[in-house]
Structure 1
Amino acid sequence: MRDPTKIDFENVKRLDTLISPRDLMEEVEFRVLSTPDSIKLTIAQKIIEFNDRVLVLDKKKNIIFVFDSQGKFLQLVGQKGEGPKEFNEVTDFAVNTQNSKLYIFSRPDFAIFEFDEKFEFSRKIKISDWAIQFDVLESGNFALYSFLVEGDDEYNISIYDISGKLLEKRMKFPRNDNYIPMDFSGFIQKGYYTYPRSSKIFQINEGENYDSLVYEVFFPNRIDEGEIFNYKNFLNFEREEQKSNILNSYEIGSHDEFICYYDFKTATNNGSTLGVRLKGGETFGHLNMKHGAMGKGDVYVKMFFIGPYNIPSYSKKYDAYYVISYIDAVSIYYEEILDDLNSGKVKDAALVEILENTSLEEPILMKFKLKPKL
């Protein structure tokens, strides 16, 4: 078992000026995602490229959009309803590249819905667990994650086989009546998971007694790991108490590449900021990279990297990341984005052309790879 990789956003290389997240990227592409006015894409929670199609889960609408390689809207996956082939919502989804199947998890239905490579319904798999996140493990088994489980269940992750048989449970979690669940901390991502409010990331080892601690993330004033099960401060709904100094969403690439959002609070800055670790080990966060605090961002931050929800999705097949402009942030920074455009601060000619000829209300897909080193 390897020692965990330490990702430190406190002790980073200081630079004369804050660099842009764009400076860490290569092979960058931009595409406008055209959608009908009746079903505009709002918040892209997860993005997967599958059989030359781009699938996007809309966090607000709980549906999956399908686009072609040029960004043209093709269809929605499945149908909402109460019929035998229909679901109440898309809570989460994942793809099994081994059998070219798409799986939708619908929390209200307590079921996983299977679709073939043409997005035709195949079957419905009933499960017995309430969950908020879903993934397909490398084994092909399903993992369902919940940080709010009723009864005396002490585990957050349930693993099912493709027939819907419960195989095992992972991630033991002490329960407390004061616990208030969050949707910006605690995740399962491609076989990795974090406890809510924790900055440690574990890898699931199916069939073994213990999971592996693989990453520890450090940033200013993070919550002490000994306090992550202390729920008293959850009773205070003020942002400073509930959402400060924690690890938000994250994505893990190849060779210990890592992207996350973390909340920080210092004397002069606070907010949710992007953190990046390159393959070569260089680390970039709010101390050396532009971020969302007032006056600290650029057009790339304002459009694509305002946390905590707009995390890029990584594709192992293409070794690339996908992120879609965050419409809520674009509306807030609308005038600033136009000022950056008019003053020549936008570096990519393709993005300049899009911004000059397309409404900012249209979602824009950014596909990129991270440089091995700066």
Structure 2
Amino acid sequence: MIKHTYFPIFVLVMTIILFSCSTETNSTTTGVETINIDVNKFKERGLLSDLIEPKDFIALETNDSCLINTISKVVIFEETIFVLDRNSQKIFRFDIDGNYLGRIGQTGEGPGEYLEIQDLAIDKENRKIYVPDYYKVNVYELNGQFVKSSKLPFMGSHMHVLTNKKFVFYGGGVEDRAIITDEDFTVINSYFPYSQKYRLNNSYIFSDYKNNVIMHLSTCDTIFTLKDGNPKPFFYIDFNGKNFTQLDYEQLPAGDKGNVADYERKSNKFVRCYGFYPLTNSIILSLGHANKSFTGIYNIESRVYLGINQLNLSNDIFGSYIYFNPVGVSGENYIFAVEPSKLLKNRSSDFVKKNVEKLRNTNEHSNPVLFVAKSKI
């Protein structure tokens, strides 16, 4: 069992935080950046160019050694692109121009191998790659060379590097979801009990934002900072009376508690935030309401959110449907994964024409293309 090392005062503070994670007002989050979202201002239709400005395409090399099924997450560090493909259980390395460099580990039970991976994290200070494999973590050099494997006293599917040689995991097999460890993966603290309504978000449950590490749990309208290893409210999303509270969760029929996200998404009463992707000055927010998915960008300075029905988001940049959830960020840009067949059908697009040389070796059987764009909101 994980030992909790809370001090009495800190227990009280965390209790207040946990119960204020979803409230009908933001009175308990004074001093925290509040993001005001009014569902009545969501648009049923809109243009992709209303949200983003296209910057670049990166065509990832395709050969028998690097066939990508689906891009789940992209991390760019020191001119190297790391691509996580959960479907094929592989991690690939490409240079910044998309040339294939090699793999990070492989599936199996031997040294440097993994059985099931959901995430990867890069320690930029110590230049190491960490790959959680549930009850262990594999460590690699940036070039893919295996360093070591360490056991975990819990099940860790997602992880992120904190300051002061600490790590945070999204875990299982224990009573809490967020687990803080030291550099040897010894548990220091754990937070967010399973008795609360928190749910796993996606690959970007943890994000870097302005020298902070922030955490977003799906169905939670408070985004926490974890920089020092202790969760503190950082953003609060106020849905103008449509927040899903802990009390709402407790009043659900037992059969609905196991699928809160689906319940929220279908309900006219609530708005659910299932995607939170921050840059310095903007945040992509993916929201669910009344059985519809809305996506858009919130400008932190102007405090304006433009949300559009995902199904009716017209791609006037390269002419095909785009799932507006980024697979990564780089600097002040978002990174999206695009199926090459969608680009090939729209070669008349001005942006495709501009980048035709980069796409010269791309065909319908090629790896997904990375589409780089910045916010216009």
TM range (shorter): 0.7 to 0.9
Deviation at 1:365, TM superposition (A): 0.8
In the alignment, what sits opposite 1:271? 292
Is 1:320 matched with 2:333?
yes
Distance in 2, matches of 1:238 and 1:198, equals 11
Where does the alignment leave 5 or more consecutive residues of structure 1 unmatched?
A: none
Determine if contact 2:119/2:203 at 8 Å carries over to the other structure. no
Measure the CA separation in 1 of the matches of 2:237 and 2:121: 26
How far 1:156 sits from its partner (Å)? 0.9
Q: Give how far 1:183 is off.
A: 5.5
CA contact (8 A) 2:163 2:227 kept: no
Q: Within 2, Cα distance between the matches of 1:302 and 1:156?
A: 41
Name the structure 2 match of 1:297: 314
In structure 2, the partner of 1:200 is: 222
Task: Compute the displacement of 1:39 (Å).
Answer: 4.7
Q: For residues 1-374 of structure 1, what are the structure 2 equivalents within 5 Å?
A: 3-10=31-38, 18-21=46-49, 23-25=51-53, 28-37=55-64, 39-107=66-134, 110-146=135-171, 149-150=172-173, 153-174=174-195, 187-190=205-208, 191-204=213-226, 206=228, 208=230, 211-218=231-238, 222-226=242-246, 227-228=248-249, 230=252, 232=254, 234=256, 241=263, 243-244=265-266, 245-255=271-281, 257-265=282-290, 271-287=292-308, 291-293=309-311, 295-298=312-315, 305-306=322-323, 310-315=325-330, 318-325=331-338, 327=339, 334=342, 341=346, 344=348, 347=351, 349-351=353-355, 358-362=362-366, 363-371=368-376, 374=377
Amino acid at match of 1:157: A
Could you tell me how far apart the structure 2 residues matched to 1:59 and 1:220 are? 36
CA distance in 2, matches of 1:200, 1:301: 35
Provide closer, same or farther for how the CA distance between residues 167 and 240 of structure 1 changes in structure 2, counting only shifts above 3 A.
closer
Aligned to 2:3: none
Distance in 2, matches of 1:61 and 1:221, equals: 42
Deviation per residue, 1:236-265 (Å, 9 max, x gap): 87996364442112222224x212322233
Post-superposition offset of 1:159: 1.2
Q: Is the 8 A contact 1:186 1:198 kept in 2?
A: no
Offset from partner CA, 1:301-333 (integer Å, 9 cap, x none) = 9868415xx434224xx34332222x4xx87xx
- Cα contact 2:163–2:228 (8 A) shared by 1: no
Q: Distance in 2 between matches of 1:228 and 1:351?
A: 49
How far did residue 157 of structure 1 move?
0.9
Offset of residue 62 of structure 1: 2.2
TM-score by length of 1: 0.75
CA distance in 1 between partners of 2:318 and 2:32 (Å): 29
Letter in 2 for 1:124: S
Question: Secondary structure, in 3 states, of the residue corresponding to 2:105?
Answer: coil
Shift of 1:121: 0.8
Question: What secondary structure does 1:241 align onto?
Answer: helix
* 2:146 alignment partner AA: F
Q: Which one has the bigger strand percentage? A: 2
TM-score scaled to structure 2, two decimals? 0.75
Question: How far is the alpha carbon of 1:145 from its aligned partner?
Answer: 0.6
Counterparts of 1:220 and 1:233, CA distance in 2: 27
5+ residue gaps, structure 2, are 1-28
Q: Distance in 1 between matches of 2:259 and 2:318?
A: 27
Distance 1:273 1:346, change over 3 A: farther
Q: Distance between the aligned counterparts of 1:44 and 1:353, measured in 2?
A: 23
Relative to 1, partners in 2 of residues 1:69 and 1:142: Cα closer, same or farther, differing over 3 Å?
Answer: same
1:42 Cα deviation after fit = 2.5
1:105–1:112: 8 Å Cα contact kept in structure 2?
Answer: yes
Q: Secondary structure at the match of 1:164?
A: coil
Change (3 A) 1:186 1:234: farther
Q: Deviations over 1:331-370 (max 9, x none)?
A: 7xx5xx777x36x555454356667873244311122333
Instruction: Give the percent of matched residue pairs that are identical in Structure 1 and Structure 2.
Output: 19
Deviation at 1:142, TM superposition (A): 1.5
